[in-house]
Structure 1
Amino acid sequence: MTAAVIDLGTNTFHLIIAEVVDSSVHVLYKTNVPVKLGEGRINEHIIISAAFERGIQTLKTFQKTIKAYGATTVKAIATSAVRSASNGTDFVQAARELAGIDIEVITGDQEAVYIFNGVKATGVISGLSLIMDIGGGSTEFIICDNERLLWKKSYDIGAARLMQAYFNTDPISQNDQEAITDHLDKELTGLKEACEIYQPRHLIGSAGAFETFAAMLVKELDIKSIKSVPLDLNAYHELSQKLITSTHDERDAMPDLIKLRVDMVVIASILTNYIIRHLNIAELSLSTYDLKMGVLYTLTGSKP
């Protein structure tokens, strides 16, 4: 069958269309649009009118592409920005009525399962591992081994949420960094307890900001053609320090750093540094497969 998956992220809407046969997935088309659904008031749980309109217009365009490819199965998955917004239900209704797209709003736990399915399909998981997916609204953590999902949790500490709450200076001040760290100390006690039990040492970053890290670290890397790649921890630390201490204009001029992530990559770096430092991570990898690929592999009948 030809299947289309729409991932309605807080920052970006993704569309992927693939031929799904037995246990295999062959991608026919994919695109993404920086809708920025969480712009402005995500911490007030509101989708502002401009973002609402951008989202609906993008879904209308996606629908035309889906019809052109003759997709017989369509899964549209909404995550943190829609599920936490007071007008999220209005957005789902408008998408159905104006774009002909039926949206499924999933929980953070469901999101984590899809992410695990996607990362598992790359073959990058080696032994006990911690998967981290930094979204705009939420960040998911999954402890797993090569075969099983062992523990999962979604936290409302996405890059857009933290940026709107704490990113007050250019470059980000030490005080703002410490405020983020204090917030993570309070929020992530459950994750730390789980990692004390399982002790994963391999951190796998799922797409998003980790693709940016990889593109900036591994020269001549074609992100679109790979499933996963190991990243040197020392080189990552040098890069993250450069990103955190730079101004917006300095980051904007850096090669391989897309416009959408020019500021959010600072938050992603602080988040990733926190996890590496507090959980004794010894190995770092990128998985280019994430939620949307996980949804596609679920359609093949694959189970975590």
Structure 2
Amino acid sequence: MSDFLIDEELLAAIDMGSNSFHLAIARVDHGEVKKVASMSEKVQLAAGLDENKNLTEAAQQRGLACLARFVGRLSSVQPNRLRIVATNALRQAKNGQEFIQKAAEILPKPIEIIAGREEARLIYLGVSHTMANSGRRLVIDIGGGSTELIIGEEFEPIHTESLQMGCVAFTKAYFPNGEINQKDFDKAVVAARKELTSIANTYKAEGWDTVVGSSGTIKACRQITVNMGWSDDQENLTREGLEKLKDKMLKYKHVSDMEFEGLKEDRRAVLPAGLAILYAVFEILNIDKLVYSDGALREGVMYDLLGRFQHEDIRDRSVQAMIGRYSADLKQAQRVVDTAQHLFDSVATALNLNNDDSDLLRRAAYLHEIGLAISHSGYHKHSAYLLQHSDIPGFSQIDQNHLSHLVAHHRRKLRTDSKIDVMRVGGYKLIYLCLLLRLAVLLNHSRSDEMLPAIELTVKNEQQWQLSVSGDAKQWPLLVADLHDELLQFKHWDIELNIQSEQFID
């Protein structure tokens, strides 16, 4: 991957939302992302979740057909300049991996399932880059399966939350037949209020200067109030306008009866549920006025991708934050990072490893000891748990799963069944990275800056590795003992490790 993006090169993002799938293609112009093409389709993936939280075959086919159409527009975009993110519906789907495997046959890049707070961070990034700075913002995004609320200043979020309420999910729960009445609307509002109570006090105490809304539900509500003359002079969505919209909508008996200028047909069915959520947000957070922004998740994804090219990768900031939070030994982590990078560079070509693999190994090396903050006993398991279950800005659930497996296997015995688990998660590449991290940690067991023997790792083939140790190995008896033990562990994962030294021939 190049170190930077020059102007006029293309970026693209696919946002696989619970209600709609979106494709955005943009050019980089003086550090800004300028959208040049977009597509959007109402796939309603969340509506395809059955009572057991499995995606139905029909919903999967809708999604796959949409992705195939999107791919037809991506011929001019290089794969390393594309990100594909999925949100609440795939977070909830028990058979989500089945859908992802089918999609992998269509897409040029893997799908990243992002956690709710990561979705919120990216939404805020998209909004903040498409608006003039206006002090502290509260950003609201009502999606198909979840609602994100973020407080931030300039480009930095302060609070990020993702609540389990969305226009598709609430439509299934409270307006399943498209019928509209006061009783069902009130039930939906009460349900939304319950979700909001968990954050209301914290958010109101933090405060904000402006309220910004993004995405389909808020766009539709705002546009209707503008067309009806219920907005303010700046065409903002006001509490009074929202009240008028609610009263008008409740006069209809069915969604098919609604007549609102500017209401798109594919938004009609989910409007009552989306309006109920928005109504509760205005009420609980005492909002009087909301400004609409065209920026949303897909724009945030592209700005985040741009940052990775420009050495402003949020993932590295998150790694450093975790090192500080858990008081990890940064000097030791850096020793392991340096050794891991040396080993990686020696075998990357032979093992078909790329820059993304290098980044993953480096971040795992920095974080492999964070579990010591919990307990020395089995600290690698604690490290793995923290990486698997923490909200880590910039990382997808797949990224965190890979990191978790790397640190979980950097010490102690390797079992045959654990190899099967690692293979299932990340294939042979993740196997190789696990073994490289083990060697890097082992070679730094002394936790000292004293000179180590010169080490060279070569790969004869994918199942035969050779580690050459320069000099008299008797100078490092503990290292020799550790390497003897490691030979057996490598064999458990079907890798033959040979050690070559003047005094130590395996």
Q: TM-score, normalised by structure 1?
A: 0.88
Distance 1:122 1:98 in 2: 31
Post-superposition Cα deviations, 1:226-278, rounded to whole Å, max 9, x if no partner, equal xx963344223212322244231222x43211122112111111111111112
For residue 277 of structure 2, what is the aligned residue in structure 1? Answer: 271
Bigger strand share: 1
Secondary structure at 1:122 match in 2: coil
Distance 1:124 1:281 in 2: 21
Distance 2:132 2:171 in 1: 30
Distance 1:93 1:48 in 2: 15
Distance 2:146 2:116 in 1: 8
Distance 1:5 1:137 in 2: 20
For residue 182 of structure 1, report the CA deviation from its aligned partner: 3.0
Distance 1:189 1:59 in 2: 37
Post-superposition Cα deviations, 1:267-295, rounded to whole Å, max 9, x if no partner, equal 11111111111211122111111000111
For residue 219 of structure 1, report the CA deviation from its aligned partner: 4.2
Tell me if structure 2 keeps the 8 A contact 1:46–1:87: yes
Distance 2:51 2:137 in 1: 31
Sort the Cα spacing of 1:294 and 1:42 in 2 relative to 1 into closer, same or farther, 3 A: farther
Count residues in correspondence: 295
Question: What is the Cα-based RMSD across aligned positions, in Å?
Answer: 2.4
Structure 2: state its 5+ residue gaps.
1-8, 229-233, 315-392, 394-506
Matched ranges for 1:1-304 at <5 A: 1-41=9-49, 44-67=52-75, 69-72=76-79, 73-123=81-131, 126-168=134-176, 171-200=179-208, 202-219=210-227, 230-246=236-252, 247-251=254-258, 253-301=259-307
Tell me the amino acid that sits aligned with residue 139 of structure 2: I
Secondary structure at 1:65 match in 2: coil
Tell me if structure 1 keeps the 8 A contact 2:126–2:295: yes
Distance 2:114 2:218 in 1: 23
Q: Which range moved further: 107-116 or 121-130?
A: 121-130
Distance 1:168 1:36 in 2: 14
Distance 1:109 1:172 in 2: 32
Structure 1: state its 5+ residue gaps.
221-227
Distance 1:94 1:281 in 2: 43
Q: Which range moved further: 84-93 or 71-80?
A: 71-80
Distance 2:66 2:178 in 1: 31
Distance 2:132 2:227 in 1: 20
For residue 168 of structure 1, report the CA deviation from its aligned partner: 4.9
Distance 1:245 1:43 in 2: 32
Tell me if structure 2 keeps the 8 A contact 1:201–1:281: no
Q: Which range moved further: 143-152 or 170-179?
A: 170-179
Distance 2:178 2:201 in 1: 34
Tell me the amino acid that sits aligned with residue 265 of structure 1: L
Tell me if structure 2 keeps the 8 A contact 1:21–1:300: no
Secondary structure at 1:19 match in 2: strand
Identity across matched positions, percent: 30
For residue 40 of structure 1, report the CA deviation from its aligned partner: 4.2
Secondary structure at 1:281 match in 2: coil
Tell me the amino acid that sits aligned with residue 185 of structure 1: R
For residue 415 of structure 2, what is the aligned residue in structure 1? Answer: none
Q: TM-score, normalised by structure 2?
A: 0.54
Tell me if structure 1 keeps the 8 A contact 2:11–2:26: yes
